[in-house]
Amino acid sequence: MQQLGMSPSEIARQLGLDRKTVRKYLRRPPQGYGPRPARATKLDPYRSYLRERGEPGVQNAYKRLGEIRKRGYPGGDTQLRQAVVGGREEAAERAFMRFESQPGEQRQLDGGHFGNGQGHRLYAFALTLGYSRMRYVEFTHRQDLETLLTGLVPAFHYLGGVTEVILTDNRKTVVLDRGGGQIRWNPKFLDFASY
């Protein structure tokens, strides 16, 4: 917004922030957040054993609790259940590569079905900024292209503009099909994107 020539006061008004907060972030370069340091738990001495048991497919937290209690574990099952779920998620995450983006570089478009209410299906789409993780969510009763496009315009205004890239899945409103490494875009969405 500053690069577009807006003053800190105008940026503050549009974002609903105090102008001193805006100035503070304009004076220093953007900084990424690092992982929090892990705190020691009663479960720590048993984690290597749990990892060994996790490899053959033992995912039952109750069974694991009995095994590590025989080895002297003094704690309860809450931390253990979190570790078992975390191990499952860690295995699932191995297939994905996490990457960081710069401000204004990319945002992600996702959608979902939220059940039926009052005789109508309820859908939502979310537009999430890659850098700040700021999100715009809109609930709708349809998932067609017109609804998506009319929802994206206020999303762009709410999030302060358009990024260089929008990541999306293969929804028919965006991608008609893929074949032989080629993407066949929905022509109306492609027209909107070029605009």
CB 191: neighbour CB atoms within 10 A? 11
Query: In b/e form, how buried is each residue of 56-93, taking b as 16+ CB within 10 angstroms?
Result: eeeeebeebbeebeeeebeeeeeebeebbeebeeeeee
15-24, 83-92, 136-145, 161-170: segment of lowest average pLDDT: 83-92
Instruction: Give the DSSP per-residue string, 119-174.
Output: TEEEEEEEEEETTT--EEEEEES--SHHHHHHHHHHHHHHTTS--SEEEE---TTT
Cα 12 to the center of its chain, rounded Å: 26
22 pLDDT higher than 80: yes
Describe the crossing of helices 78-93 and 47-54 by its angle, rounded to 10 degrees: 50
Confidence of residue 12 (pLDDT cuts 50, 70, 90): very high
95 pLDDT higher than 80: no
